[in-house]
């Protein structure tokens, strides 16, 4: 069965998108899985990480984004509505939404893939939308994306209607934290917000744990990681280190794993992904 995982943190700049993209990539390439990465952050960093500018612009012009799932046209609303099956409307076509970001081959045979549902700046209007739309992402993924092994949802750094949509569509969540004081202070607030989601909507997720990201050598990082662990949070044994090479690989839109000099950091993400699979 498809496993849907939301990657969430209330603070930006903690390596959330880098973690989402690299886990997705590793699951496809090294574990031969069918992966869908859903970018619901209006800043669309995951989209820019995986796809070149020309391809993004072409997709925006001719196809649909996650915005069209969350704020569908009247025609799409009819297509998604199970209560209006007799209405003659064009069925939703998944190919209109996805970008085939990576295909992984072994002996000229496809063994895994990484597809992307891109985000859009237009999502900034989503918070003003009517209530009830928070269930549309779940409905879309349930009906159109059950052939994927894993769906990873990259969230904005807020507790919002967008985050609630991801929460309701998921079974699990993962929390990336940069070990600094501001990032760690947001953990209790995130926990409280997710508890409110559960109380209001009767839907609970399994917490896969905290992943420390962008870890720098030094006493402060060690103290904060120890504090989070001793506070009762389930933390991954492996972490990703801070590196300018990660930022350079994102900026150049090249795959992180195309850099031989990045072997240490790519191995860290591989270890995190393996630990994630063990938890699942």
pLDDT of residue 74: 61
With cut-offs at 50, 70 and 90, classify the pLDDT of residue 125.
confident
pLDDT of residue 260: 44
Side-chain half-sphere CA neighbours of 109 within 13 A: 4
| Phi, psi (rounded to 5 degrees) for 157 | -85, 50
**So where are the chain's domains?**
3-279
In the predicted structure, residue 234 carries a pLDDT above the cut 70: yes
In the predicted structure, residue 278 carries a pLDDT above the cut 50: yes
Contact predicate 17/119, CB 8 Å: no
CA distance 65 to 120: 7
Q: Which fold has domain 3-279?
A: Rossmann fold (3.40.50)
pLDDT of residue 19: 92
What would the pLDDT profile of 239-276 be if each residue is shown by its tens digit? 988 776 666 666 554 555 554 456 778 889 999 999 99
CA distance 130 to 28: 36
What would the pLDDT profile of 31-81 be if each residue is shown by its tens digit? 999 999 999 999 999 998 888 888 888 898 999 999 999 987 765 655 555
């Amino acid at each position: 069965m498809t496993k849907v995982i939301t990657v969430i943190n209330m603070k930006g700049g903690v390596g959330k998108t880098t973690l989402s993209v690299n886990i997705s990539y590793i699951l496809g390439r090294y574990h031969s899985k069918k992966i869908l990465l859903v970018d619901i952050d209006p800043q669309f960093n995951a989209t820019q990480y995986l796809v070149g500018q020309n391809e993004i612009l072409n997709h925006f012009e001719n196809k649909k984004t996650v915005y069209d799932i969350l704020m569908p046209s009247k025609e799409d609303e009819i297509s998604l509505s199970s209560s209006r099956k007799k209405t003659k409307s064009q069925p939703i076509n998944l190919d209109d939404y996805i970008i085939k970001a990576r295909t992984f081959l072994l002996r000229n045979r496809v063994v895994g893939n990484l597809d992307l549902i891109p985000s859009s700046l237009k999502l900034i209007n989503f918070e003003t939308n009517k209530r009830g739309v928070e269930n549309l992402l779940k409905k879309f993924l349930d009906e159109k994306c059950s052939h994927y092994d894993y769906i990873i949802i990259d969230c904005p750094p807020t507790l919002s209607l967008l985050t609630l949509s991801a929460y309701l569509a998921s079974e699990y969540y993962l929390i990336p934290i940069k070990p600094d004081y501001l990032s760690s202070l947001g953990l209790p607030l995130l926990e409280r917000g997710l508890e409110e989601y559960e109380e209001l909507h009767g839907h609970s997720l399994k917490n896969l744990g905290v992943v420390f990201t962008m870890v720098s050598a030094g006493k402060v990082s060690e103290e904060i990681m120890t504090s989070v662990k001793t506070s009762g949070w389930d933390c991954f044994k492996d972490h990703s280190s801070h590196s300018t090479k990660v930022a350079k690989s994102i900026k150049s839109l090249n795959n992180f794993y195309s850099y031989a000099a990045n072997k240490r950091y790519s191995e860290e993400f591989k270890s995190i992904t393996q630990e994630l699979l063990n938890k699942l």
